[in-house]
Amino acid sequence: MNTEPLLNPVVLFFASIFTSNILLSNFLGMCSFISISKDKTSANGLGLAVTVVMAICAAVSWLVLRYIVVPLQIEYLSFIIFIIVIAAVVQMLEMIIDRVSPALYMSLGIFLPLITVNCAILGAILFMQIRSYGFLQAVAFGAGSGLGWWLAIMLLASIRKRMENNPVPAGLKGAGITMVTIGFMAMAFIGFSGMIAVQ
């Protein structure tokens, strides 16, 4: 944990959006990615929620990791602790969204509490732990990964919108063609890989 920052947080921020997009290079957070990308408005709302949760969770988890988990040598409990942190942050965000925008709250519906079990968020926090990021790096990585996830779901939602009237073979309709699309998107993003080493 006392290692010097390896990477400029700003670089890390952009790297996590584009070159190592958590969704398209690590394939994390797939369930809501596929199910909410049917409609752009909900995709946008969920993307925003994931971004906020990821940034806050990265910061809180880093503090918990640095000042509680490591000194007490209870790293073996870090998974559980991270999940508790995520659950708490989502719970608070849920209350705040309900207060600020009931319409967004209703349109996110069940997916808002389900962010708790969105593996992209736990994944980002674990990457942060494994790669021994500093605080600023952790926040930059969390926010960047969230924005990357948001970007990916918006891209997929737009593509699905355009494909709505296209002649898709019957057997591939729905989930099938979506998976193929995601594959192509991932291949496009793989083109960036190796430009910046994030670890």
Partner 1 sequence: MSPLLIGPLATGAISGLLALVIALTDRVVNNYGEVTMDINGGKKSLKVKGGSPMLGTLGSEGIFVPSACGGRGSCGACKVRVLSDVGPVLPTETPYLTPQEISQNVRLSCQIKLKKDIQIEIPDELFYVKKYTAKVESIRDLTYDIKEVRVLLKNPSSMEYIPGQYAQLVTPPYEDIPESVQRAYSMSSRPGEPDHVELLVRLVPGGIATSWVFKYLKVGMDMELVGPFGEFRVHDTPAAMICVAGGSGMAPFWSMFRDMKEKNTFPEKEIWYFFGARSSRDMFFLDELRALEKEMPRFHFVPALSESKPEENWTGDTGLITDVLDRYLKGKIDPSRPKEGYLCGSPGMINACIDVMIRNAIPESGIYYDKFA
Residues that bind partner 1 (CB under 8 A): 64, 68-69, 72-74, 76-77, 80-81, 84-85, 88, 91-92, 95-96, 98-99, 102-103, 106-107
**Angle, CA of 162, 168 and 174, to the nearest 5°:** 80
Specify the residue, 21 or 61, whose C-beta has the smaller distance to partner 1: 61
The 8-class DSSP code of residue 89 comes to H
Specify the residue, 99 or 162, whose C-beta has the smaller distance to partner 1: 99
Specify the residue, 17 or 43, whose C-beta has the smaller distance to partner 1: 43
Q: How far apart (Å, rounded) are the C-alpha atoms in residues 146 and 22?
A: 8
The 8-class DSSP code of residue 5 comes to P
Q: How far apart (Å, rounded) are the C-alpha atoms in residues 91 and 26?
A: 26
Question: What is the smallest separation between the CB atom of 172 and partner 1, expressed in angstroms?
Answer: 30
The 8-class DSSP code of residue 1 comes to -
Question: What is the smallest separation between the CB atom of 141 and partner 1, expressed in angstroms?
Answer: 22
Specify the residue, 106 or 188, whose C-beta has the smaller distance to partner 1: 106
